[in-house]
């Protein structure tokens, strides 16, 4: 197994309401799960291959709860990635070189039965984790926007977090609202649903904790 490690930031939008039942070991509130994710890798490596500054994104579509499988997905890899970096990122995203179910990449890959061919393209990411604002844009495929939650009475920004001491994706996530539309082989549409803003620190064995 080739060791790898990444530090970065992510924005995820899924069909659940703001709490996202999956984070609490419950079933998705819509009965199915559609999701869009974008990750900025600030520092990282896969073996001797550096991954600093690269971006990845994905669209997922499960007809029921994620653990029941039959999902469809498509991965996007930064057009600036070299051939070695592309291969490394695809291995990480598909759960290879990772302990079983140790990261969200490994968990989700195990539930996908239709994986579309990866797309190597420009990925625009604007991520402000503390401000709960972000954008994922991949021309002809993804347009996702995230913003803070707002008090329904005053309109003031509201802050909420989810803390997962034993999670497989993050330790702390800032929660906001997000909306997405996608095109291409995996089409989803979400408006004002769960927006997850998180700092990531992952390696071959899972979340790296302090």
Beta bridge partners of 50: 45
Contact 164, 201 (CB under 8 A): no
- The CATH number of the structural domain formed by 4-207 is 2.40.400
Per residue in 147-170, pLDDT (tens digit) is 999 999 999 999 999 999 999 999
Summary mean pLDDT of the chain:
97
Domain limits of the chain? Answer: 4-207
Residue in this structure with the two tokens 């073996």, named with its chain if needed: 47
Q: How far is CA 151 from CA 43, 155, 156, in A?
A: 36, 5, 5
CA-nearest of 17, 69, 8 to 37 is: 8
Per residue in 68-101, pLDDT (tens digit) is 999 999 999 999 999 999 999 999 999 999 999 9
Give Cβ neighbours of residue 108 (< 8 Å, ≥ 6 apart): 60, 66, 71, 73, 95
Per residue in 134-143, pLDDT (tens digit) is 999 999 999 9
Model pTM greater than 0.95? yes
Helix (H) or strand (E) holding 198: strand 189-203
Residue 66's SS3 state is helix
Quick one: tokens of 1?
Answer: 């197994």
Angle in degrees, CA 52, 53, 57, rounded to 5: 110
H-type alpha helices, the chain: 83-93, 104-109
């Amino acid at each position: 197994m080739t060791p790898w490690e990444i530090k970065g930031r992510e924005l995820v939008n899924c069909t659940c309401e703001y709490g996202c039942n999956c984070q609490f070991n419950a079933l998705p509130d819509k009965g199915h799960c559609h999701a869009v994710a974008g990750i900025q890798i600030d520092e990282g490596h896969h073996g001797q291959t550096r991954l600093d500054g690269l971006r990845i994104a994905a669209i997922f579509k499960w007809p029921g709860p994620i653990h029941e499988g039959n999902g469809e997905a498509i991965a996007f890899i930064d057009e600036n990635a070299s051939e070695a970096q592309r291969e490394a990122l695809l291995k990480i995203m598909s759960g290879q070189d990772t302990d079983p179910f140790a990261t969200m990449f490994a968990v989700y890959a195990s539930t996908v039965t239709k994986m579309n061919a990866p797309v190597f393209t420009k990925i625009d990411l604007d991520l402000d984790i503390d401000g709960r604002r972000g954008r994922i844009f991949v021309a002809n495929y993804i347009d996702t926007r995230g913003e803070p939650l707002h008090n329904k009475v005053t309109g003031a920004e509201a802050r909420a977090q989810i803390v997962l001491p034993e999670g497989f994706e993050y330790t702390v996530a800032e929660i906001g609202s997000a909306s997405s539309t996608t095109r291409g082989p995996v089409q989803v549409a979400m408006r004002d649903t769960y927006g997850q803003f998180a700092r990531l620190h992952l390696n071959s064995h899972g979340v790296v904790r302090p």
